[in-house]
Structure 1
Amino acid sequence: MTTGPDAPGTDPADDAGPDATEHPTDTAPGPPGGPPGGATSEELRVGAALGGAASRLVRPVGAALLAAYLFVGFAGTVATTSLFAAVVPRIRAVVLANSAATAADLPPADPSPLAVGLEPTTAVGLVLVTALLAETVHVVAVRVFVGDARSLPDRALADLRARALVSYIANSLALIAVFAGLFALVLPGVFLAVAFYLVRAVVAVEGAGVVPALRRSWRLVAGHRLRVLTVLLLVVLLRQLPTLPGSVVAETPLPGAVGASLGVVLGAVVTAFATAVAARVYVQLAGMEAAARETGDTDEAAGGEAAADEAAEEPLGALSPEEIDEQFGGR
C-alpha cells in the first residue's frame, strides 16, 4: 500500500488538520454517528474549500487552466474596453446635442490602454463571444477542480458547448435576480447571490438545465447559507485585488498599459481560484446531501414530512462524492 504525501489520491493540503474530511476520496472513519466513510460533515468547512482550491490550482492542470483564464481575461478586457471606447463618445455627443450640458460639463473619458478601435456592433459581438468562451473555461475548470485535479478528467470536455451555453444563461438569470435584489433592498440580493452560488457547478457536473440548476443550487445551499456567505465575502474581497496595479502604476512613469495588463493577470488568478473554491464547496454540500439521503436524516423543524419526502427523492443528476471522484478524478 502506497502512503505519504505523493500517494495517488491523497493531498496534504486536503487531508491536514480538521478539514481533512473535505476531500471526496477520504476513507478515514467518520465521527461516531456521522456519515459513513468520514467523507462529509454536518457543516460546510470553509478552510477545506479554500485550501483544496489553492492546492489544485498549483498543479499542472490548474496551471494550464490559469493560462486559459489569462487568455480569456485579456480577450474579454479588450472586447469590453473597446465597446466602451466605441459607445461612450457617441452617447456623449447625443447628450450634448439634446441637453443644456456643455463640453466642459462632460469631458471626454480617456479610453483604456487595452482598447482597440472597433465599430460598436463588432465590439458587442466580440463581448458575447469572449463571454461564452470564458463560460466554457469555467465549466472545464469546475469539472477539473471537483476531482483531484492531478490530470484532465475524461469528461472535462464532454458536451462542452451545450453545457457552457446552459451555464451562461443560468448564471445570467441568477445575476439579473441578484442585481434586482441589491437594487431593491440589498439583503434580497445578498440572499439570492448565496442561493445561486452553485449554479455553474450543478450545470457542469450534473448536466442540469437552466431552471433545474437554479433550483438545485438553492436546495444545496439551504442550511449552509451563512458559511457560503462567508466564502462569497472572501471572494468579493479578493476580486478587489486586480484594481490595485492600475492605481499603483498611475503613480509611476510606467505606461498605463502595464497597470491594466497586471490587473488582468491578477484578475485571472483570482477568477481561477474563485472557481476552484466554488467547486470544492459543491463537493462538500453534495456529499452532505448524499449522506442525508442514505441515512434518511432530515430537518423536521424545517418542513416535517414534506422535507423528508424531498430529502428522500434523489435529484436528477445528483452525484455522491465517490461518483464525482470516479467521473472527474482524472485519467
Structure 2
Amino acid sequence: MSDDSSDGPDVWVDDTDESPPDGPGSGGPEPGDTLAVGDALSGAAARLVRPIGLALVAGYLLVGFAGAVATTSLFATLVPRVRAVIIENSAATPADFPPLADPSPLALPVEVSTALGLVLVTALLAETLNVVAIQVFVRDAREFPREALADLPARSLVSFVANSLAAVAVFVGFVAFILPGVFLAVAFYLVRAAVAVEGAGVVPALRRSWRLVKGHRIRVLFVLLVVVLVGQVATLPTSLVEVTPLGETAAAAFGVVLGAVVTTFGAAVAARVYVQLAGIDAASVAARRAAGGPDSDGADGEPDDSPEDEPIGALTPEEIDEQFGKGN
C-alpha cells in the first residue's frame, strides 16, 4: 500500500483547538493536500476535554456498562449450554471441559434469548451514540449541534448495517491473510462518518469511505495504529487494579470507564480525519471541474469508484467544503 496522496489543490481544514479563522493570514493551519495526522489527533484530544466531549464520555460509559453486562450475561449463559452439548454429543467427559469457576460479576442470570436481545439493543444504542459523536466532533464541539438529531434512528440503523458489513469483510480479510484485513480496515475507516454527516446509504457509505481514504492509506493506517495503541495502554491500569484487594469487580468497572474514554477519543479522531479528507476531496473535485476535466476521475487520476453524478448522501462535495472548510 503506497501513500499515493492526492494532487488536488490546497484546502484549509479546522484541526486546531482554536475557532476557524475568518480569512487568510488569521493564524489557522497551513493548507495541505494530504492528511495531517498530528492535526487530526490533536484536534480530537482538544474536543474530547470540552464539556460536550466529556458528556459523550459519560454517554459511552453508560452504554459501555450496559454492553458489558449484556455480553458477560450472554457468555455466562451460553458457555454452560455449549459445554453440555459437546459432552453429550462427543466422547468428551466433564473433566475435559470444566465449568466456569467464577462468572463475571457483571453477568445476569438470564436466558440465552434475553441475553442476545440485550446484546443487540446495547449494540444499536452504541451505534446511535457513535453517530451523534461523529456529528459533534466534525465541528468544534463547543455546543451541541441540533442537526445531530436529524434522522438519527435511520442513520444509526444504516451505520450499524454498513459497519457490520465492513467488519465482516475485515474479519474475512484477516482470516484469509492479515494484510487484506488491514487494507480493508483502512479503506472502510470512514463508513460511519459518511453515514452520520452525509446521510449516505449502506453501499454508498462503503464506496464513499473507500474514495476518501484512497491516496491517504498509509497515514490513515498510522492513525488507526495510534488509536489501537491508546486502547492497549488503557488496559494496563485495569490489569493492575485486578491484582489489588479491590478485586475483579473494581477492575471490570474501571475497565468500562477507560473504555468509554478510549471509544470517545476514537470517534473524535475518525471525525477529524473525515473533515480533512472530505475537504481535500471537495477541493479536488472543484479544481477538476474548473479545469474542465472529467468529474469521474479520482484524486490520483484513476477512474473514480463513485462518479459525481451518483448521489452520495445529504451533502455534496461543495456543501462539505462550505460547511467544514475555509471561512466557516
CA contact (8 A) 1:171 1:200 kept: yes
Q: Deviations over 1:169-226 (max 9, x none)?
A: 0000000000000000111111000000000000000000000000000000000000
Q: 1:71 and 2:62 equivalent?
A: yes
Structure of greater relative contact order (alpha carbons < 8 Å, 6+ residues apart) = 2
Q: Shift of residue 312 of structure 1?
A: 9.0
- Superposition pairs for residues 267-278 of structure 1, below 5 Å? 267-278=259-270
Compute the TM-score of the two structures, normalised by the length of structure 2: 0.84
Q: Secondary structure at the match of 2:105?
A: coil
CA contact (8 A) 2:73 2:107 kept: yes
1:320 counterpart residue number = 320
CA contact (8 A) 1:287 1:321 kept: yes
Name the aligned partner's letter for residue 97 of structure 2.
L
Whole-Å separation in 2 of the counterparts to 1:243 and 1:308: 39
- Superposition pairs for residues 45-60 of structure 1, below 5 Å? 45-60=36-51
Deviates most, 86-95 or 169-178: 86-95
Whole-Å separation in 1 of the counterparts to 2:15 and 2:176: 45
2:278 counterpart residue number = 286
Name the aligned partner's letter for residue 216 of structure 1.
R
CA RMSD of aligned residues (A): 2.9
2:131 corresponds, among 139, 147, 151, to 139
1:101 counterpart residue number = 92
CA contact (8 A) 1:166 1:203 kept: yes
Stretches of structure 2 that go unaligned for 5 or more consecutive residues are: 1-13
CA contact (8 A) 2:127 2:156 kept: yes
Q: Secondary structure at the match of 2:147?
A: coil
1:123 corresponds, among 115, 122, 131, to 115
CA contact (8 A) 1:249 1:258 kept: yes
- Superposition pairs for residues 154-303 of structure 1, below 5 Å? 154-296=146-288, 302-303=300-301
Name the aligned partner's letter for residue 160 of structure 1.
L
Whole-Å separation in 2 of the counterparts to 1:175 and 1:287: 26
The number of residues matched between the two structures is: 304
* Residues 1:100 and 1:308: Cα distance change in structure 2 (over 3 Å): closer
1:80 counterpart residue number = 71
2:24 corresponds, among 21, 28, 41, to 28
CA contact (8 A) 2:70 2:119 kept: yes
CA contact (8 A) 1:250 1:259 kept: yes
Stretches of structure 1 that go unaligned for 5 or more consecutive residues are: 1-10, 16-22, 31-36
Compute the TM-score of the two structures, normalised by the length of structure 1: 0.84
Name the aligned partner's letter for residue 72 of structure 1.
V
Q: Deviations over 1:135-161 (max 9, x none)?
A: 000000000000011000120111100
